[in-house]
């Protein structure tokens, strides 16, 4: 064990190994990123504790499948580097270890650890560092129990590691980070990077070998996720634009990305973004795992014909980028992204979103796209009713929730008690799509959809009406009076059960 | 049974909240009244503008969910 004060030099020295000098460490993107993340602008690390011999199960799997068979004698034992925000001497640290009091204020300063692998250059192994605090929403994190010299500490994070480039490329590492959360919540298998790569396929599309790994395509990424016990939804780029190289290109616009992030975040599984990043004088495809976002407060929007979404207020995303570090910031500029790749590029070329891969629990069968079309229809009807009468535009928050979490929202809402009790005591599916309609900060309606149902059915299974009676009554009269015109077939497009949706909505507003 | 227990718990709370707490004044412009009448469905009406906008956005949503098979084969390798 070694205890040293935190500095940029001591960070480089603590990350070295027999195959990688501190100078090589200083040239790495990760070192640059960690300086910011652990430094004064970030977690404010003050002390480093180095655990010289550490057995990392994650590395052992990869060691057994590849490094053990190399002629070079790579060790199988790693070292673990811990970071603290507090300063202390070795005597004080030893005393805390012996006291064994996990609740001691001393441990509040614990920031997490990095496992340093005994291989050349790609040394950053299993890493668990605290997420930023503040107003950010880190939904893709979990609690990690960290055993340290007989003490058991707990921090909220999402595991990170850099790509090994032999056994895994960026996509594999993004899947690995995602599985770290999914495996904690569901009956999903957490695998090592080499196992994930093996799960993806047994060869490249051109027939060449998968190890050493030079990358996966979208189909292989999805196959690897499916083999871990989940299913995937994939969104493709369909928005044409001219890129920084003056070539015709396609991307997924930011507004749609924000809708998807907001919709699936409450389930808590990191979402994989496939992005085209500037790399020298060209672009290259890369994958990152989004685990959090930051949303600005609701602002007033004047009533308008185009639908407004709460997700429009998302201003930043946080993603594990295996070539930089954990919780790397992504911002939005026009219809492209600004990532660390953009920030370090001499011409600041933007990052382009090419695909969104949403890993899901198989029981979630109804997609955001299925619900969005219905919500657009309901917005059309309410917009027609409220024309010129409301203080602000109708703003929709469409997201999938665990039903127990939705009940908590209802319990704390402005609903009258009898209706609250009715919902709290009702039996609901495990997953619900909830479309909440706001006027300013006031929810006026929740439309509930059974996320485990079949898309061709009438999947609406509740309408929670927060409106006062003196607004509900004219709304019901308006719907009944204009029934043929407002029949949702006008608004719900091609849905074959449009009539059923309309009648159900009306019935629920009438309290039947 | 659960419903009964919840009702009992809530009956002990004061003041009782039997009605929704949201007030019309929090969401409606001052002096607004609802005069329920038939929608104007002429071609340049608000109703038709909204309907066209809904259809446009539904078409846009459909495009986002179409897969480009060629792009799925590009290798993510950085």
β-strand partners of A146 = A153
The rounded mean pLDDT for chain A is: 92
The confidence score (pLDDT) of residue B6 equals 59
* pLDDT value, residue A497: 81
pLDDT of amino acid A128? 98
pLDDT of residue B11: 57
Query: pLDDT band at residue A124, thresholds of 50, 70 and 90?
Result: very high
Q: Nearest-CA neighbor of A364 among A293, A235, A291, A459?
A: A459
Inspect the interface and report whether the beta carbons of A417 and B16 lie closer than 8 Å.
yes
Give the residue, A508 or A491, on which the prediction is more confident.
A508
Q: Do A424 and B55 touch (CB under 8 A)?
A: no
pLDDT mean over A153-177: 89
**No. of helices (H) and no. of strands (E), chain A:** 17, 22
Report the Cα–Cα distance between both ends of chain B, in Å, rounded: 59
Which residues of chain B lie closer than 8 angstroms to A353, CB-CB?
none
* Cβ within 8 Å, pair B61-A384: no
Peptide bond connecting B15 to the previous residue in cis, omega within 30 degrees of 0: yes
Asked if residue A287 lies in contact with residue A232, where contact means CB atoms within 8 angstroms, the answer is no
CA A372 vs CA A368, A429, A445, A449: distances in Å: 6, 20, 16, 11
The answer to whether A277 contacts chain B (CB < 8 Å) is yes
Give the pLDDT score at A393: 96
Q: Which residues of chain B have a CB within 8 Å of the CB of A477?
A: 34, 36
Look at B58 and A376 and tell me if their CB atoms are within 8 Å.
Answer: yes
Which range is least confidently modeled, A254-258, A369-373, B62-66? B62-66
For residue B2, the model assigns a pLDDT of 56
Question: In chain B, whose CA is at the least distance from the CA of A279?
Answer: B78
In this complex, the residue of B6, B34, B75 whose CB is nearest that of residue A425 is B6
Each residue's pLDDT tens digit, A16-62: 999 999 999 999 999 999 999 999 999 999 999 999 999 999 899 88
Least confident of A473-487, B14-28, B59-73: B59-73
Nearest CB among B54, B71, B77 relative to A236 is that of: B71
Q: What is the pLDDT of residue A484?
A: 67
Contact B57 A323 (CB under 8 A): no
| Predicted local confidence at residue B13, as pLDDT | 58
- Residue A449 reports pLDDT greater than 90: yes
- Which residues of chain B are within 8 Å of residue A256 when distances are taken between CB atoms? 64
Residue A474: CB partners within 8 Å, gap ≥ 6?
Answer: B34, B36
- Lowest model confidence (mean pLDDT) among A25-29, A161-165, A320-324: A161-165
Per-residue confidence (pLDDT) for residue A485, from 0 to 100: 66
Cross-strand pairs, A5 = A47
- Output the six-digit token pair for A158: 């999402």
Contact assignment for B77 to A215 by CB distance below 8 Å? yes
What residue in B sits closest to A410 (Cα-Cα)? B20
For chain A, which domains are there?
2-160 (no CATH), 230-360 (3.90.70), 368-509 (no CATH)
Residue B9 confidence (pLDDT): 63
**A30 interfacial to chain B (CB closer than 8 Å):** no
Report how far residue A111's alpha carbon sits from residue A45's, in angstroms, rounded to the nearest whole number: 8
Does A467 sit within 8 Å of B78, measured CB to CB? no
Mean pLDDT of A263-281: 96
- The mean per-residue pLDDT over the stretch A153-179 comes to 90
Q: Which of A65-69, A135-139, A338-342, B69-73 has the lowest mean pLDDT?
A: B69-73
- Residue A438's closest chain B neighbor by CA? B27
pLDDT at A230 over 70: yes
Whether A279 contacts chain B with CB within 8 A:
yes
Least trusted range by pLDDT, from A67-81, A224-238, B12-26: B12-26
The answer on pLDDT for A114 being more than 90 is yes
Do the chains contact at A252 and B26, CB–CB below 8 Å?
Answer: no
Q: Taking CB atoms and an 8 Å limit, are A287 and B76 in contact across chains?
A: yes
A205 and chain B in contact, CB less than 8 A: yes
pLDDT tens readout for residues A345-370: 999 999 999 999 999 999 999 999 99
Residue A502 scores a pLDDT above 70: yes
Determine the average pLDDT of the residues in A383-400: 95
């Amino acid at each position: 064990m070694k205890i040293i004060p935190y500095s940029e030099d001591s960070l480089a020295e603590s990350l070295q190994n027999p195959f990688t000098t501190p100078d090589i460490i200083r040239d790495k993107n990760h070192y640059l990123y960690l300086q910011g993340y652990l430094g004064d602008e970030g977690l404010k690390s003050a002390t480093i504790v180095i655990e010289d011999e550490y057995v990392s199960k994650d590395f052992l799997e990869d060691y057994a499948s590849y490094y053990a068979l190399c002629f070079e004698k790579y060790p199988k034992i790693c070292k673990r580097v811990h970071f603290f925000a507090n300063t202390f001497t070795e005597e004080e640290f030893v005393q805390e270890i012996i006291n064994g009091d996990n609740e001691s204020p001393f441990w509040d300063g614990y920031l997490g650890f990095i496992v340093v692998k005994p291989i050349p250059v790609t040394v950053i192994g299993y890493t668990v560092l605290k997420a930023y605090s503040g107003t950010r929403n880190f939904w893709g994190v979990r609690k990690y129990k960290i055993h340290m010299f007989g003490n058991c500490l707990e921090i909220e994070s999402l595991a990170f590691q850099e790509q090994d480039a032999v056994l895994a490329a960026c996509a594999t590492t993004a899947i690995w980070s995602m599985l770290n959360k999914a495996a904690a919540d569901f009956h999903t298998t957490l695998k090592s990077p080499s196992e994930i790569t093996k799960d993806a396929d047994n060869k490249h599309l051109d027939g060449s070998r998968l190890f050493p790994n030079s990358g996966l395509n979208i189909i292989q990424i999805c196959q690897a996720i499916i083999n871990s016990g989940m299913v995937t939804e994939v969104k493709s780029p369909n928005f044409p634009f001219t890129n920084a190289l003056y070539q015709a290109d396609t991307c997924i616009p930011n507004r749609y990305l924000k809708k998807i992030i907001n919709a699936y975040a409450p389930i808590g599984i990191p979402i994989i973004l496939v992005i085209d990043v500037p790399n020298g004088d060209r672009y290259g495809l890369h994958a990152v795992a989004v685990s959090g976002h930051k949303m600005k407060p609701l602002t007033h929007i004047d009533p308008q014909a185009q639908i407004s979404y709460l997700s429009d207020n998302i201003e930043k995303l946080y993603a594990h980028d295996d070539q930089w570090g954990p919780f790397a910031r992504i911002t939005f500029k026009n219809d492209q992204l600004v990532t660390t790749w953009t920030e370090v590029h001499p011409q600041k070329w933007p990052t382009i979103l090419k695909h969104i891969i949403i890993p899901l629990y198989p029981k979630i069968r109804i997609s955001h796209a299925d619900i969005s079309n219905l919500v657009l229809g309901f917005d059309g009807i309410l917009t027609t009713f409220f024309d010129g009468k409301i203080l602000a535009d109708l703003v929709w928050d469409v997201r999938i929730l665990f039903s127990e979490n939705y009940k908590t929202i209802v319990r704390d809402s402005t609903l009258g008690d009898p209706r609250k009790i009715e919902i709290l005591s009702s039996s609901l599916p495990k997953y619900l799509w909830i479309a909440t309609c706001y006027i300013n900060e006031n929810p006026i309606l929740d439309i509930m959809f059974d996320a485990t149902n079949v898309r061709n059915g009438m999947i609406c299974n509740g309408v929670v009406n927060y409106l006062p009676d003196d607004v509900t009554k004219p709304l019901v009269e308006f719907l009944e009076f204009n029934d043929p015109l407002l029949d949702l077939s006008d608004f719900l497009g091609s849905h074959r059960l449009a009539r059923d949706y309309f009648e159900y909505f009306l019935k629920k507003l009438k309290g039947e | 049974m659960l419903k009964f227990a919840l009702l009992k718990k809530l009956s002990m709370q004061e003041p009782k909240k039997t009605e929704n707490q949201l007030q019309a004044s929090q969401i409606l412009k001052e002096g607004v009244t609802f005069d329920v009448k038939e929608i104007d469905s002429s071609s340049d009406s608000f109703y038709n503008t909204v309907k066209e906008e809904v259809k446009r956005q539904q078409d846009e949503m459909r495009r986002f969910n179409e897969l480009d098979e060629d792009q799925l084969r590009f290798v993510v390798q950085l």
